Structure 1
Amino acid sequence: MDETPKKIIVGSVNRTTLSKQVVESIIQLLNSGQMKPGDKLPTEMELMEILNVSRPVLREALSSLESLGVITRKTREGTFFNNKISSHPFSIMLSLAHDNLQAMVEARMALELGLITIAAEKISDEDLKRLKQTIEIIENSKDQNYGEADIEFHRIIALSANNQIVEGMVDSLIVTLVKINSEIKVREQERTIEHHMAIYKALEKRDPFEAFHQMYLHLDYVRHKVLKNLHEKKD
């Protein structure tokens, strides 16, 4: 019987792997509840000792966390966990999918349909007033150039959900709106007003089911219109 031990092959632990492990360990401080958003992290020397890593590895990990919007390093004050999620990770995903319009439209639908149900419960009278103003701007538009008011309508709804976890996604949502708007060559002003007004009325009644339904009708209409234009371009 051959008792020659099997040769075990494992990848060597390199600096990049160590850096990722440090990133995960620091994020775990939040996940475990040991630290909270806004808290100040231990000093570099303390983190090096706690994590048993060198200064270059730690600094590489901190740079990654900062670029992801998890932490902020302040000169003379130290390093702090951010209170809000950064939009950067979502912006990266959108950049990778910049030529996949269908994926962007579907991502927008998934995000906005979730946000509007929460917004229906939380939206303030002031936000409703601002929403109505965007509709009035669209109504008074003489040259079909109401793209900014259209985007502002959706931004107000997204932010009125008032949720720190998804708030960072809103900027990325606006990026998709700008991209999608750029693909709409022929605007239908009366249809836009009709859809926006129906959404507004559902929010005014604080009715999440009706708000979801009206937003779905609107976004589904936009989706088919944009994708139809896209297919016509390819033909």
Structure 2
Amino acid sequence: MTPQRLIPQLLPEPLGRVSRPRLYEQLVEQLLGYIESAQLGPGDLLPSERDLAERLGVSRPTLVQALVALEVLGVIDVRHGTGAVLVYRPSIATVIKGLQAHQNRLPEIVEARSTLEIKLASLAALRRTDADLAAIDAALTSMAAEIADGQKGALGDELFHQAVTAAAHSAVLGQLMTFIAEMILETRLESLGQPGRPEQSLASHRAIAAAIRSQDADAAAAKMLAHIELVSDVALLK
């Protein structure tokens, strides 16, 4: 006799409470279900993180991981002082497929970034000019200001890595970094969405900058390696 297949029951409410902490992929599905049932459209604002976390019965850091995943996939735009704004309303199947594809390529993105940026940091320590150091310092100041304002520091983070790349004065490596820039942006958002990560990343940047300023190529490479390992610690890789 063929065992009867159980059909999962639908939750009675768009955002049913979760009985125990669940993976952020499941929260993504819950959020998409809420967006669909509430008939939200582009430009509409999602409830606050606190409200969503309470209604789902999960911690805010766990919820943030789901929101970051949706932001990376372009479904929402998380704006400082405003909250999560819906960019477009996709089907759940489309988002899950995109999330799985991103999970599969993320390790290769990290691998490519590590290979390039470690060498760039080493070269920057040997070739940097006063103008290069000024650009690096300006990026650090920008990131610190963003974090102090309650933001993730994503712009300052991007400016810092661009400044280090420029300081290496390697046209070919610079072109390769430009080629993977959009993919790195995805990992940047995911990393800076982790609790406490913006502050950790800023401290890591400062250590890299100090090694470059001291013209210590080995130290610059080591600090960049440590930084890549830090920022690669994201939920999507677990």
The counterpart of 2:123, out of the listed 118, 122, 129, is 118
Q: For residues 71-90 of structure 1, what are the structure 2 equivalents within 5 Å? A: none
Q: TM-score, normalized by length of structure 2? A: 0.52
For residues 173 and 122 of structure 1, the distance between their equivalents in structure 2, rounded to whole angstroms, comes to: 23
Give, in angstroms, the shift of residue 144 of structure 1: 2.1
The counterpart of 1:181, out of the listed 188, 197, 205, is 188
The counterpart of 1:230, out of the listed 222, 233, 236, is 236
Give, in angstroms, the shift of residue 231 of structure 1: 4.6
Give structure 1 stretches of 5+ with no counterpart: 1-96
The counterpart of 1:153, out of the listed 147, 160, 171, is 160
Cross-structure match for 1:205: 214
Give, in angstroms, the shift of residue 102 of structure 1: 0.6
Structure showing greater Rg: 1
User: Could you tell me the percent identity over the aligned residues?
Assistant: 25
**Aligned residue identity for 1:145:** K
Give, in angstroms, the shift of residue 180 of structure 1: 0.6
Q: TM-score, normalized by length of structure 1? A: 0.53
**Alpha-carbon contact 2:152-2:198 (below 8 Å) kept:** no
Q: For residues 13-24 of structure 1, what are the structure 2 equivalents within 5 Å? A: none
What per-residue deviation string (whole Å, max 9, x for no partner) do you get for residues 35-85 of structure 1? xxxxxxxxxxxxxxxxxxxxxxxxxxxxxxxxxxxxxxxxxxxxxxxxxxx
**Aligned residue identity for 1:181:** R
How many residue pairs end up in the alignment? 133
For residues 237 and 121 of structure 2, the distance between their equivalents in structure 1, rounded to whole angstroms, comes to: 29
Quote the RMSD (CA, aligned, Å).
Answer: 1.8
**Aligned residue identity for 2:187:** I
For residues 113 and 237 of structure 2, the distance between their equivalents in structure 1, rounded to whole angstroms, comes to: 19
What per-residue deviation string (whole Å, max 9, x for no partner) do you get for residues 79-101 of structure 1? xxxxxxxxxxxxxxxxxx86410
**Aligned residue identity for 1:183:** E
Give, in angstroms, the shift of residue 170 of structure 1: 2.1
Give, in angstroms, the shift of residue 213 of structure 1: 0.9
SS at match of 1:156: helix
Q: Give the 3 Å change call, closer, same or farther, for CA 112–231 of structure 1 in structure 2.
A: closer
